[in-house]
Amino acid sequence: MEKSRSEKLKRLVAVQRHLEKMAEIDLAGTTRQRQEVAESMDAVVDAINSLDPVHRSFSRIYSGQFSRLQQTDQMLANVQQMHEMRVVRERTKGDRTEDRMHEAREAEDREAADTSIYDLIDQHVAYKQSDD
């Protein structure tokens, strides 16, 4: 049996919601990575600002590491922005598809109601004709 339009759209909505969840998971991963980079940057800053003589001898290494961490953070910020836009885009697609699914279901319900009314009218006319 062929599926109705609303059933097909319902399946598409489920797929779209899955894509939205995948985008949210990607965003959460990127956010977690940025948090880890921020913690590393804090640790490097603490080491640079330390009065411990061990850290003083590694100040150049620390500054290079801090520079790399800043670059990584900037790259992750751009990736995070891309993932945020993707989440919004997937959510919007899902909402629109869901709206179309509801509209299709309403149209199918109206068509079923119209068909049942026409059937009642046909039965009534057939009953009247059989009485005559």
- The pLDDT tens digits for 48-62 are 888 887 777 888 898
> What does the pLDDT average to over 22-28?
97
- The total domain count for the chain is 1
Q: For residues 41 and 77, give the distance between their C-alpha atoms in angstroms, rounded to a whole number.
A: 15
Residue 67 has pLDDT above 90, yes or no: yes
CATH of the domain at 93: 1.10.287
Q: Specify the pLDDT at position 124.
A: 86
Residues 6+ apart with CB under 8 A from 80: 27, 30, 31, 34
pLDDT category at 1 given cuts 50, 70, 90 is low
Q: Specify the pLDDT at position 27.
A: 97
**Other beta carbons within 10 Å of 130:** 7
Distances (CA, A) of 113 to 24, 28, 37: 41, 47, 61
What does the chain come to in residues? Answer: 132
Query: Which range of residues forms the domain containing residue 19?
Result: 5-131
- The pLDDT tens digits for 77-108 are 999 999 999 999 999 999 999 999 999 999 99
> What does the pLDDT average to over 128-132?
73
The count of C-alpha atoms lying within 13 angstroms of the C-alpha of 19, restricted to the half-sphere facing its C-beta, is 16
